[in-house]
Amino acid sequence: MSRPLRVGVLCHPTVGGSGVVASECALSLAARGHRVHVFSPGVPPRLARDAGGVVLHRVRGFDYPLFDAGGDDYAAASAVLRVLADDGLDVLHAHYALPHALTAVVARDAWKNGGERAAPRVVVTLHGTDVTLVAAEPSYAPLVRHALRAADALTAVSDDLARRTRAWWGTSAPAIDTIPNFVDSAVFRPDATGDAGDRAPGPLRAVHASNFRELKRVPRLVELFARASRGTHAELLLVGDGPERARCEALARELGLADRARFVGERDDLPALLAPRDAFLLTSAEESFGLSALEAAACGLGVLATRVGGLPEVVRHGETGLLVDPDDADAFVTALRGWIADPAVPRELGRAGRARARTVYDRDAGVRRYEDLYRRLAADPDS
């Protein structure tokens, strides 16, 4: 049997998908016998309830007036160096380019220069906005480029993101492998609420989950839902929190949705909230992958989403859901009206979505792809 690996994971502790993927990966690797350390300024949500065998390092800078922007990244690099000294690490896996790829590269290079045990190999997984927003910002672009060039392996969560990263890079872009996100279909399942998974007949129950950032365009979603569902009993559940939530709640009241739209904030019982519903709605302006859409599909919901970024890879138009052009409000309303008229349609698409989530996006298979990459890198220091 091959020896267990020592893996350090750097990620954001926020509810965003990169922290979810990093945590799920860490939990799964630890359950398979690897020694896993997670370095993050807070407790990533999926590790809050049960961190399994994962060793969590909460890295916080100290309150020092000269470090205006906080010193969490310095603390993270120092924590990695401590673990390297005590335990050693084969791989450092940064989820999201900044600051984690940079922190990983700095820690690796500092360790290399110390001339002691072998330095860890650095894997960077790009999640989307780290390239499309952060790297596009001229004041950060050179640093992102440096961190990505200095990594030992780069992965992206969808083919579309890999393509966009190459386009942003221009000539001599480094190799980027696609390792798609995944879902634990034993947790995200149609009977996650405890019933048999058969949805009671009745008006359409739709759901949306996000961090309510501007690019998710949730106010637009509320408006389009109001248009499509006027005069019906269709319901909309909105899960999550973020900058645009208050505006969305006010808009829902204004549009007469007070009785049919419910905002429940950030929740960690997502499977139980998704499972009893029929349809998942997403109107994002961009989405490198759309993990929430995959989790909804795994629960058996049909997905109605915008045709942007990696979503066409995750949602198969006409097979597991429907995709509409991001600026075509009428198309979204027409599609949603069809589902409101016959909620059996999204349920049928949801059945196909669950089957696809289980085969194409299986959690164990996804984590194994990272594990294989770690082993290749650890076995060959020159690769």
Query: Does the footprint of ligand GMT cover residue 23 (CB under 6 A)?
Result: no
Looking at 127, 260, 277, 356, which residue binds ligand GMT (CB under 6 A)?
A: 127
Which residues 6+ apart lie within 8 Å of 99 measured at CB?
Answer: 73, 76
Q: State which H helix or E strand residue 106 sits in.
A: helix 102-114
> What's the farthest any 2 CA atoms get from each other in the chain?
71
Query: Does the footprint of ligand GMT cover residue 181 (CB under 6 A)?
Result: yes
> DSSP secondary structure string, 142-168?
HHHHHHHHHSSEEEESSHHHHHHHHHH
Helix, strand, or coil (residue 214): helix
**Shortest separation between residue 15's beta carbon and ligand GMT, angstroms:** 8
Q: List the interface residues with ligand GMT, window 58-97 (CB under 6 A).
A: 96
Query: Does the footprint of ligand GMT cover residue 287 (CB under 6 A)?
Result: yes
What is the token pair recorded at 113? 């220069």
In the complex with ligand GMT, the residue whose CB is nearer, 14 or 193, is: 14
In the complex with ligand GMT, the residue whose CB is nearer, 234 or 238, is: 238
Looking at 23, 40, 129, 185, which residue binds ligand GMT (CB under 6 A)?
A: 129
Query: Does the footprint of ligand GMT cover residue 44 (CB under 6 A)?
Result: no
What is the token pair recorded at 369? 């792809």
Looking at 55, 215, 255, 331, which residue binds ligand GMT (CB under 6 A)?
A: 215
In the complex with ligand GMT, the residue whose CB is nearer, 12 or 363, is: 12
Cα(277)–Cα(296) distance, rounded to whole angstroms? 9
Select the span of 15-23, 65-73, 109-117, 162-170 touching ligand GMT (CB under 6 A): 15-23
Select the span of 16-24, 76-84, 142-150, 244-252 touching ligand GMT (CB under 6 A): 16-24
Select the span of 11-19, 25-33, 52-60, 359-367 touching ligand GMT (CB under 6 A): 11-19
Q: Going by DSSP bridges, is the β-strand pair 205-209/6-10 parallel, antiparallel, or unpaired?
A: unpaired
Cα(66)–Cα(88) distance, rounded to whole angstroms? 32
Cα(308)–Cα(285) distance, rounded to whole angstroms? 7
How far is CA 206 from each of CA 96, 274, 279, 349, rounded to the nearest angstrom?
30, 9, 5, 14
Are 93 and 69 contacting, i.e. CB atoms less than 8 angstroms apart?
A: no
Looking at 128, 190, 302, 326, which residue binds ligand GMT (CB under 6 A)?
A: 128
Query: Does the footprint of ligand GMT cover residue 289 (CB under 6 A)?
Result: yes
**Shortest separation between residue 167's beta carbon and ligand GMT, angstroms:** 15
In the complex with ligand GMT, the residue whose CB is nearer, 297 or 378, is: 297
What is the token pair recorded at 47? 């590790």
Query: Does the footprint of ligand GMT cover residue 16 (CB under 6 A)?
Result: yes
What is the token pair recorded at 356? 């696809």
Binding residues vs ligand GMT (CB under 6 A): 12, 16-18, 21, 96, 127-129, 157, 181, 211, 213, 215, 286-291, 309
